[in-house]
Amino acid sequence: MKFLDLCKVYIRSGGGGGGAVSFRREKFIEFGGPDGGDGGNGGSVYAEAVEGLNTLIDFRYQQHFFAKNGQHGMGSQRTGRNGDDIVLRVPVGTEILDEDEETVIADLTEVGQRVELAHGGNGGWGNLRFKSSTNRAPARANPGQEGVERTIWLRLKLIADAGLLGLPNAGKSTFLAATSNARPKIADYPFTTLVPNLGVVGVDGKEFVMADIPGLIEGASEGRGLGDQFLGHVERCAVLLHLVDGTSETVANDYRTIIGELEAYGGELAEKRRITCLNKTDALDPETLAERLAELQEAAGGQVYAISGAAGIGLQEVLRALMSEIEARKAEAEEDAAGPWRP
């Protein structure tokens, strides 16, 4: 299945049906009078988060979604039929943006969440509604209300607990394959990963979801390489795992490159909790390993784990650290949601 995480969609709700002007005229019926029915309401346009989707590829082949108009009212006090609604089924984690690509209309983060994007027009009143003691035979009816037409953007941000960061060929896909059920493409050339991958990681009887995104290079915020377009998929993560290639002779500069791109991206991504690892340590002799580990620790200003995704070295320790951060973040979120205690 092809991956698509940003698309433009055109929507329009249905217009309401017009009210009817009608009078009851039947043989042998002494009193007639107005009997025009109301018009039906136009259909609305909704977006709903559903299970089983992880891409917006369906919206590449259909970008226009128009709800049905309401039916006009009829005589004999018959109300017109309401127009059918349209529901845009999107993956969990989809943000709905206005045409300016900045204003967030809705953020669908749970299965079953639904939001109305365009309300259907109300049906017009028939002439029966205008009957009064002073106007026994009204000859007027309201037209239906017009539908709403707008352009929106759908932007998918994958739901994951932890996110992998690093330069191309830092070993992110190998790490994901070694620790989860995911089977990403692995090769010995840069930009092997072209789209984000998700994997379920298990440690000590617990599970969490990890996301691997294409590697960043210096200048990604300016569009170099694959740019920073996939960083949105790790914005929701509780913790980031930063992998640095241990076989590189410039591990400190490699670390700073990624941090610089996170800061250029903006938002809270640069302040998000990070765990740093020196990867591919199985390819280093003890002396070189000690030198590069010390160099990276100085650049990171904190603890650095020495691991190897290919050889399985040090993975459990890192996974436990990730799990601890995820649980701490969830506990903070629950405490914030509960609010201050009141007797």
Q: Which residue ranges are tagged as binding site?
A: 166-173, 191-195, 212-215, 279-282, 308-310
Task: Give the pLDDT confidence of 150-171 residue by residue, as tens digits.
Answer: 999 998 888 788 888 888 888 8
Task: Give the pLDDT confidence of 319-334 residue by residue, as tens digits.
Answer: 999 999 998 888 887 7
pLDDT of residue 123: 94
Q: Which residue ranges are tagged as binding site for GTP?
A: 166-173, 191-195, 212-215, 279-282, 308-310
The answer as to whether 301 is a domain residue is yes
205-230 mean pLDDT: 71
| CATH number reported for the structural domain that contains residue 62 in this entry | 2.70.210.12
pLDDT at 342 over 50: no
The answer as to whether 298 is a domain residue is yes
The answer as to whether 217 is a domain residue is yes
25/41 same-domain check: yes
The answer as to whether 141 is a domain residue is yes
185/303 same-domain check: yes
9-32 mean pLDDT: 89
pLDDT at 343 over 50: no
Domain span including residue 187: 162-338
Q: What does the block give as tokens for 229?
A: 């377009």
The answer as to whether 1 is a domain residue is no
Q: Are strands 64-66 and 33-34 parallel, antiparallel or unpaired?
A: unpaired
Q: Which residue ranges are tagged as binding site for Mg(2+)?
A: 173, 193
| CATH number reported for the structural domain that contains residue 287 in this entry | 3.40.50.300
CB 310 within 8 A of CB 243: no
CA dist 224 and 215 (Å) reads 11
118/138 same-domain check: yes
- Total structural domains within the chain: 2
138/170 same-domain check: no
- Of the residues 124, 156, 188, the one at which a domain ends: 156
pLDDT at 338 over 70: no
Q: Are strands 45-50 and 86-91 parallel, antiparallel or unpaired?
A: parallel
The answer as to whether 83 is a domain residue is yes
The answer as to whether 85 is a domain residue is yes
Task: Give the pLDDT confidence of 254-286 residue by residue, as tens digits.
Answer: 899 888 888 888 777 778 888 999 998 888 888
